[in-house]
């Protein structure tokens, strides 16, 4: 996919000039104010931003500070475009989180070269981060990435007043599986389960992670509790369909999973908890325990007591 480049300047002519210089280097988005640029970045994080340092209402320094304060935007490289060439301006920009400077009037070769460098650096940084946030056994998100994604989705859901749902999933009687078939077969089983979980999800925004051992987590943005229950049931059927033999399981002699679903929103009620990562994980865990207590191989939904 082509990189996303966000151009920000209160002078529409400057924006158009920069856009012309960068034609063919990526998907270009234009904004005439810091506030509009921040909104566009929140909707879809760019790969690099070029921003005018001197703008009314929200200048480049303030815009940069807002970007760095957002978990999903903090690592986006920001290039300041400015007519000031003094050291104090550059020092202030780097202190705010700027990655580079381009002086006005911009030269095409300089703009292209500096954008190309920042895109390459971000590509390398993303690759390293992806390796550090991927579970080595299953190839899906690991617990650290899940924690980052959950925090970011909580922020997004609070801002947009959307519902955020979470599924906690556990492979039933997995210790007995390892004891009977051995750890190599146990690893193969977990990889098969992870692949089936991914296949059961239908939206790019939905994410599955290995939470630890034989436990998985599925993050479902903008999903009501009924939708989470539906996906939980679909996951249970998907694992059943694998027909992985489990001689020591009392549940039909195959590998099965149990699931707990919980939903969070900005205003709590009988079916929704507070929009915090701690509250959502705790509620989904409680629902998972209820599914186990109810006989396993099923999905239970968290509801507030009373």
Instruction: Please write the tens of the pLDDT for every residue from 189-242.
Output: 999 999 999 999 989 999 999 999 999 999 999 999 999 999 999 999 999 999
Which residues are marked as active site? 214
Closest CA to 76 of 104, 44, 54, 101: 44
Whether residues 18 and 94 share a domain: the answer is yes
pLDDT in tens, 91-148: 888 888 899 999 989 999 999 999 999 999 999 998 898 889 999 999 999 999 999 9
Kindly state the average pLDDT of the residues 66-89.
Answer: 88
236 is a domain residue: yes
User: Residue 111 belongs to a domain with what CATH number?
Assistant: 3.40.50.2300
Q: Classify residue 137: in a domain, yes or no.
A: no
With beta carbons less than 8 A apart as the criterion, state whether 28 and 15 touch. Answer: no
User: What does pTM read for this prediction?
Assistant: 0.71
Domain boundary among 132, 160, 190: 132
Let me know if residue 138 belongs to a domain.
no
Cis peptide before 288 (omega within 30 of 0): no
Pair of tokens at residue 75: 């690592």
Q: Report the run of H or E that residue 44 belongs to, with start and end.
A: none
Question: Three-state SS across 159-174?
Answer: HHCCCEEEEEEEECCH
Structural domain total, the chain = 2
| Residue span of the structural domain in which 39 resides | 4-132
Whether 227 and 108 map to the same domain: the answer is: no
Q: Which helix (H) or strand (E) holds 2?
A: none
Per-residue model confidence as pLDDT tens digits over 167-186: 999 999 999 999 999 999 99
Q: Which two tokens stand for residue 185?
A: 């077969």
The SS3 assignment for 284 reads helix
Question: What are 48's strand-pairing partners?
Answer: 5
Whether residue 162 is found in the same domain as residue 272: yes
Closest CA to 30 of 47, 53, 12: 12
The 3-state secondary structure of 89-118, one letter per residue: HHHHHHHHCCCEEEECCCCHHHHHHHHHHH
- 3-class secondary structure, 224: coil
> Which tokens belong to 14?
């400057």
| Domain end call among 132, 162, 197 | 132
């Amino acid at each position: 996919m082509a990189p996303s480049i966000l151009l920000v300047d209160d002078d529409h002519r400057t924006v158009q000039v920069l856009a012309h210089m960068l034609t063919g280097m990526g998907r270009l988005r234009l904004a005439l104010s810091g506030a509009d640029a921040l909104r566009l970045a929140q909707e879809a994080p760019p790969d690099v931003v070029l921003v005018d340092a001197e703008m009314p209402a929200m200048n480049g320094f303030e815009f940069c500070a807002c970007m760095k304060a957002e978990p999903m935007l903090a690592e986006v490289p920001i290039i300041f475009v400015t007519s000031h060439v003094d050291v104090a301006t550059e020092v202030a920009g780097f202190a705010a989180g700027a990655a580079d400077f381009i002086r006005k009037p911009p030269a095409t070769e300089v703009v292209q070269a500096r954008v190309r460098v920042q895109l390459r650096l971000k590509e390398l940084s993303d690759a390293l981060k992806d390796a550090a946030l991927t579970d080595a056994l299953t190839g899906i998100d690991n617990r650290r990435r899940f924690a980052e994604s959950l925090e970011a989705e909580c922020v997004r859901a609070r801002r947009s007043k959307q519902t955020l749902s979470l599924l906690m999933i556990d492979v039933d009687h997995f210790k007995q599986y390892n004891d009977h078939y051995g750890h190599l077969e146990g690893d193969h089983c977990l990889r098969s389960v992870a692949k089936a979980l991914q296949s059961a999800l239908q939206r790019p925004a939905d994410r599955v992670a290995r939470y630890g051992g034989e436990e998985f987590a599925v993050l479902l943005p903008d999903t009501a509790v009924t939708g989470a229950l539906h996906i939980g049931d679909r996951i249970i059927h998907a694992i059943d369909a694998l027909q992985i033999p489990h001689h020591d399981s009392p549940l039909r002699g195959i590998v099965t999973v149990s699931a707990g679903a919980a939903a969070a929103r900005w205003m709590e009620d009988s079916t929704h908890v507070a929009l915090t990562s701690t509250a959502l994980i705790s509620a989904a865990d409680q629902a998972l325990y209820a599914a186990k207590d109810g006989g396993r191989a099923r999905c239970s939904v968290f509801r507030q007591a009373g």
